[in-house]
Amino acid sequence: MVRIAIIGCGIVGASIAFELSKFPELKVTVFDKQPPVQGSTGAALGVLMGVISHKTKGRNWHLRETSLQRYETLIPELEAATGRKIPFNKQGILLLCSEGEDLSKWEKLAATRKSQGWKLELWEVEQVREFCPHLDLNHNIIAGIYSPQDRQVDPTTLTLALVDAAKLNGVNFQFGVEVQGIKSGQDAHPTTNSLSCGTGILPVTENSTNPTINLISCGTGILPVTEKFDRLIVSAGLGTAAVTASLNQLVDIRPVLGQALHLRLKNPLGNPDFAPVITCDDIHIVPLANQECWVGATVEFPENGGEVQANAEMLEEVMARAIALCPALAEAEIIRKWSGLRPRPEGRPAPIIEALPSNSKVFIASGHYRNGVLLAPATARSIREMILQ
């Protein structure tokens, strides 16, 4: 029996837990300082931009392709296992190109996707108008790119379904448990550290004869929880830097804020038989059931590497641009506004999926920045391959 600890239960940690839960030889425990889906995942729009992204080769395309393929089986598998209905929009993504956009790069991408076995269509403005009568294409829109095999999923329902399905397969979830740090190898003194847990140190021990990780974490600050693990997976999003800092391993992940809105429309939007995600200049209009939709998101970087506060004007700008595209949104009722922090690796490409150089028993699955929902299934598969190799 291999004992696995997963720190963090957003979409990434939950996906890994479910993936590993299928292997009876693995005993998996997931820790999160909060209830599930309170981090970045709870703020996400769930748009899965795979085929329509400009990544065409290497790791980044491979992860996207793996995830898109897996989503087609994962959603029905989770629905059957848990009885939850997971909102999953299979009508694709329609990207609107503004004046000045180089359409030849899209033609090239469509040809590449065809050679890879995926579909991407270039639409004239008239075709966009025919399929999406609710859009105002008078200003600036010169073409549409339709990606029928890209998807959108409700990230919260999906994560909760992953947790339920993993529980059914025997995974132990401990919510309200904050892991405060890791201490490696020879330095780790489990007994002492279990007492010093409150000071924020969490030991990992590793030796060649009996490689175990002593993970000691604090509940709500009262009693320390002490357990031994053979492997540790850090999928703590923005919390990853703090958890790994005590290993003298800088996994520098910083926040990029995003704001979005949930709207209720007065009338059905456009064509009832064709409701893809509409995207233009980085703004998404995500159709939902019951004449509702999400609009977002802003991309707000912290100044001087510090904290980032939501900028109300930037959200207004997103809404104004969405209304220019889809005038019916002007009449919509705003049900909710929210913001979240995307975990972005500093100075290196997203995401980070690797064993820590200083400790081969500790794996990082973090820093998914703007595509954590898209890349979660492929991340889970990569981690499973590393664990079972």
Ligand X SMILES: Cc1cc2nc3c(=O)[nH]c(=O)nc-3n(C[C@H](O)[C@H](O)[C@H](O)COP(=O)(O)OP(=O)(O)OC[C@H]3O[C@@H](n4cnc5c(N)ncnc54)[C@H](O)[C@@H]3O)c2cc1C
Per CB under 6 A, residues contacting ligand X are 7-13, 31-34, 38-41, 43-47, 178-179, 235-237, 239, 243, 258, 260, 296-297, 340, 342-343, 366, 368-374
Query: Minimum distance from CB of 240 to ligand X (Å)?
Result: 7
In sequence order, what DSSP letters do the residues of 322-381 get, joined into one string? HHHH-GGGGG-EEEEEEEEEEEEESSS-S-EEEEETTEEEEEEEE--TT-HHHHHHHHHH
What's phi and psi for 164, nearest 5 deg?
Answer: -60, -45
In sequence order, what DSSP letters do the residues of 259-305 get, joined into one string? EEEEEE-SS--S-TT--PEEEETTEEEEE-STTEEEEE---BPPGGG
- Which CB sits closer to ligand X, 134 or 342? 342
- Which CB sits closer to ligand X, 186 or 220? 220
Query: Minimum distance from CB of 267 to ligand X (Å)?
Result: 25
Query: Minimum distance from CB of 8 to ligand X (Å)?
Result: 3
Query: Minimum distance from CB of 315 to ligand X (Å)?
Result: 10
- Which CB sits closer to ligand X, 10 or 270? 10
- Residue 182 to residue 223: CA distance in whole angstroms: 18
Alpha helical stretches, state H, the chain: 11-21, 58-82, 103-116, 125-131, 155-168, 190-195, 240-245, 312-325, 372-388
Residue 168, SS3 per DSSP: helix
Query: Which of 104, 196, 161 lies closest to 376, judged by CA?
Result: 161
Give every strand in the sheet of 151-153, ordered side by side: 47-48, 151-153, 88-89
- Which CB sits closer to ligand X, 204 or 374? 374
- Which CB sits closer to ligand X, 43 or 387? 43
Beta carbons within 8 Å of 203's beta carbon, 6+ residues apart: 182, 183, 184, 187, 188, 189, 190, 193, 214, 215, 216
Query: Minimum distance from CB of 133 to ligand X (Å)?
Result: 25
Kindly report the CA angle at 101 between 98 and 106, in degrees rounded to 5?
110
- Which CB sits closer to ligand X, 286 or 326? 286
Query: Minimum distance from CB of 318 to ligand X (Å)?
Result: 10
Give every strand in the sheet of 141-147, ordered side by side: 121-123, 141-147, 93-98, 277-280, 283-287, 292-296, 253-264, 333-345
Query: Which of 363, 378, 23, 31 lies closest to 170, judged by CA?
Result: 23
- Which CB sits closer to ligand X, 224 or 237? 237
- Which CB sits closer to ligand X, 8 or 144? 8
- Which CB sits closer to ligand X, 171 or 373? 373
- Residue 195 to residue 218: CA distance in whole angstroms: 11
Query: Minimum distance from CB of 379 to ligand X (Å)?
Result: 8
Query: Minimum distance from CB of 104 to ligand X (Å)?
Result: 27
Beta carbons within 8 Å of 305's beta carbon, 6+ residues apart: 254
Query: Minimum distance from CB of 184 to ligand X (Å)?
Result: 17
Query: Which of 69, 262, 283, 236 lies closest to 154, judged by CA?
Result: 262
- Which CB sits closer to ligand X, 140 or 194? 194
Query: Minimum distance from CB of 145 to ligand X (Å)?
Result: 17
